[in-house]
Structure formats: structure tokens, C-alpha cells
Amino acid sequence: MGDRVNIADVLPKLAATLAPVDDDDPVVYDGLVDAIDVPSLELVWAEPWLEAPTSCSTFALPAVWCNAGRIEPGDGMRVLEEMVAAVLRKLRDDPTSSFAIGETSGPRVREVAGVKYLAARIPLRVPVAF
């Protein structure tokens, strides 16, 4: 695991790591939004936001929502699987990353602004400084 990240830099650093490279890469939202385009990645704080501090370290718990598409017939599951794999690859392959990857949720229905989407949540853990 890498160096500690300033708490205010966690989501922007994560957004930079997951930023779109190609035109067909998902949009990245680096915080809560009231509506989304799909496919998209939404970077949020998990609950709890921070683990209890110790004398040596404190860890923050960000999460990545992979929003594949609306709930409808089609290739939504394939899109979701590819999105999750791409996020995991980008985090693994970044030599400067301080993010540890937790257990990814199974595919689920997630509602945003009254619209239901096929999504999965990837929890992360990162050492932080204040």
C-alpha cells in the first residue's frame, strides 16, 4: 500500500486514476450527483467514511459505483462485468496507487433520481493524513 493521501485529495486522486482514456470509457463523477449518464463511475464515500484512528494511521473508505445502464433487456450484465474489470485493472496497474480493493458487490438494482440502473459497488480503503 502506498503513502498516505490527504483526506481532501482522495476522491480527486481516485478520479484521476479512473479517468476516461478512450471515447467509449465511462464518465467519472467524483462525488454525489442527482442524475447520471450511463455507463458511468460514481466516486462516493462509504459508510463509515473513516475507520477509527489509531496512533499510527487512519484509513478512509471511498467506494466506486459502476453504473452500467438502465434495467432493460440487452447487454447490461456484460457492460457491468467489463466496467468492474476495467476499474480493478486501473487500480492494480497504477504504481502510485494507495487504494486497497475490498470485496466487490454482486450486480444489483440501484436507483438514482427515480431511475433504476444495473450497478455494482467496489469498496476501497486508503491510508489518509489530515
Which tens digits make up the pLDDT trace of 15-63? 999 999 999 999 999 988 999 999 999 999 999 999 988 877 899 999 9
Cell of 49: 467514511
Tell me how crowded residue 75 is: count the other CB atoms within 10 A of its CB. Answer: 11
Asked if pLDDT for residue 2 goes beyond 60, the answer is: no
CA 49, chain centre distance (Å): 14
23-30: which pairs have CB atoms within 8 A and are 24 or more residues apart?
Answer: 25/86, 26/66, 26/67, 26/83
Read off the pTM: 0.93
The CATH code belonging to domain 5-129 is: 3.30.980
Q: Cα–Cα distance between 38 and 9 in angstroms, integer?
A: 25
